């Protein structure tokens, strides 16, 4: 429409050029027309769109919503740069972790993968747990599908007890209260797992400060193992899943040990029972979760049964090699992420499960039950 405004000038300039040979007016009018065309084209490229729409990244370009941005960033507006920056930040734990933490808190720490499942489907994932974030994804693990036993390794102060509490919080969600029991063994005085000692689903708490309770405690656990073996033999079933399907409900028992090497060294009864749980516990409904500062004091036979492994903080390279966790360059990351070394309110760990490369993830610290 704006070209119609200058059409008379172009017509007169053309007439003057032909009749009088004065082409300067035509050049001036033509330049004005070209300027109007250029402005109209630029406006059409910068048409309004939802700046908060989804960002699409590809080797060929960038789009926000249905708007494809110019290939050269010199033509970008400041708001476009800001939107792309916010999107890239959301792909890292820096932007994603706080929001993911609040979502998990709202779900009572239940995994997102089970929040919309039926009770039957939730029962099949009763040992799935929310631990934190990995890149722009929530990080969840399944002790039944990937384990059944887990070893967390890290030096003092790395956050082993915090990650252990995160695991227990997620396991003790409402859908599990009728099918899960905890047995807590804390050989750091008991303070680390004290938050769970009074929970209705906790069958007992043993600490290194109660020496007189240790032998009866190990004997009671051994009796439970033997009782379940007799139950399964009488029912002619091979594992807890078959027993539940044919006979009726039976609790899974998660035995949690903070400072495994100290427990193994405390008595022969303790070492024998831990080994029995590690080797025979899976079919009987026992799952073992343990922490330790290093691999010193953990027998090779026992380590073999910890199929799930987690390195927290600055673990000794020799221990990492024995855990089959190699250099950081092999880490599996869910998406291309911006590298970070610290994240306020979170600690870094490396997760290893069978037949998968290690995964870097971040877990929250300082969270009360």
Q: Domain holding 176: CATH number?
A: 3.40.50.300
Q: What is the mean pLDDT of residues 323-343?
A: 54
Residues 77 and 192 in one domain: no
Whether 351 maps to a domain, the answer reads yes
pLDDT of residue 48: 65
Whether 139 maps to a domain, the answer reads yes
What is the value of pTM for the model shown? Answer: 0.73
Residues 129 and 249 in one domain: yes
Closest CA to 181 of 126, 245, 233: 126
User: Which has more pLDDT, 21 or 137?
Assistant: 137
Residues 80 and 37 in one domain: no
**What's the CA gap between 16 and 21, in Å, rounded?**
7
Count of structural domains, the chain: 3
CB 143 within 8 A of CB 129: yes
pLDDT of residue 190: 78
pLDDT of residue 278: 94
Domain that holds residue 4: 1-44
Whether 63 maps to a domain, the answer reads yes
Whether 369 maps to a domain, the answer reads no
Residues 209 and 80 in one domain: no
Residues 69 and 187 in one domain: no
pLDDT of residue 85: 73
Classify the C-alpha dihedral 65-67-68-73 as positive or negative: negative
Whether 202 maps to a domain, the answer reads yes
Residues 60 and 143 in one domain: no
Residues 13 and 150 in one domain: no
User: Which has more pLDDT, 369 or 349?
Assistant: 349
Whether 164 maps to a domain, the answer reads yes
Of the given ranges (58-62, 271-275, 280-284, 317-321), which has the lowest mean pLDDT?
Answer: 58-62
Average pLDDT, the chain: 82
pLDDT of residue 251: 93
Residues 60 and 137 in one domain: no
Residues 210 and 114 in one domain: yes
pLDDT digits (tens, 9 = 90+) for 220-246: 999 999 999 999 999 999 999 999 999
User: Which has more pLDDT, 51 or 158?
Assistant: 158
Whether 294 maps to a domain, the answer reads yes
CB 348 within 8 A of CB 116: no
**What's the CA gap between 141 and 132, in Å, rounded?**
10
**What's the CA gap between 261 and 85, in Å, rounded?**
47
Furthest-apart CA atoms within the chain: distance in Å = 119
Give the number of other CB atoms < 10 A from CB of residue 49: 12
* pLDDT-derived band at 118, boundaries 50, 70, 90: low
């Amino acid at each position: 429409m704006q070209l119609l405004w200058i059409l008379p000038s172009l017509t007169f300039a053309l007439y003057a050029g032909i009749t009088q040979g004065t082409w300067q007016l035509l050049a001036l009018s033509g330049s004005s027309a070209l300027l109007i065309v250029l402005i109209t084209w630029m406006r059409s490229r910068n048409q309004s769109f939802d700046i908060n729409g989804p960002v699409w990244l590809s080797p060929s370009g960038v789009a926000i919503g249905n708007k494809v941005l110019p290939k050269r960033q010199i033509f970008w507006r400041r708001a476009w740069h800001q939107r792309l920056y916010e999107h890239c930040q959301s792909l890292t734990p820096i932007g994603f972790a706080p929001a993911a933490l609040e979502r998990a808190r709202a779900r009572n720490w239940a995994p997102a993968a089970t929040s919309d499942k039926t009770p039957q489907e939730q029962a099949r994932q009763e040992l799935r747990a929310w631990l934190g974030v990995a890149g722009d994804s929530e990080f969840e693990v399944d002790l039944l599908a990937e384990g059944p036993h887990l070893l967390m390794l890290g030096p003092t102060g790395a956050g082993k007890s915090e990650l252990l509490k995160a695991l227990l919080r997620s396991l003790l969600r409402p859908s599990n209260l009728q099918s899960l029991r905890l047995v807590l063994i804390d050989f750091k005085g008991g303070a680390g797992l004290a938050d769970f000692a009074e929970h209705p689903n906790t069958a007992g708490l043993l600490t290194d400060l109660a020496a007189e309770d240790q032998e009866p405690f190990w004997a009671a656990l051994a009796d439970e193992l033997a009782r379940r073996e007799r139950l399964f033999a009488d029912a002619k079933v091979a594992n807890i899943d078959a027993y539940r399907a044919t006979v009726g409900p039976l609790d899974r028992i998660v035995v949690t040990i903070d400072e495994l090497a100290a427990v193994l060294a405390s008595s022969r009864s303790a070492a024998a029972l831990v080994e029995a749980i590690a080797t025979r516990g899976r079919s009987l409904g026992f799952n073992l979760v343990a922490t330790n500062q290093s691999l010193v004091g953990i027998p090779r036979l026992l380590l073999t049964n910890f199929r799930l492994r987690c390195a927290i903080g600055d673990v000794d390279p020799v221990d990492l090699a024995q855990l089959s966790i190699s250099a950081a360059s092999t880490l599996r990351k869910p998406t291309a992420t911006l590298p970070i070394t610290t994240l306020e309110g979170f600690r870094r760990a490396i997760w290893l499960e069978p037949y998968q490369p290690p995964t870097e993830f971040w877990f929250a610290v300082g969270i009360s039950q």
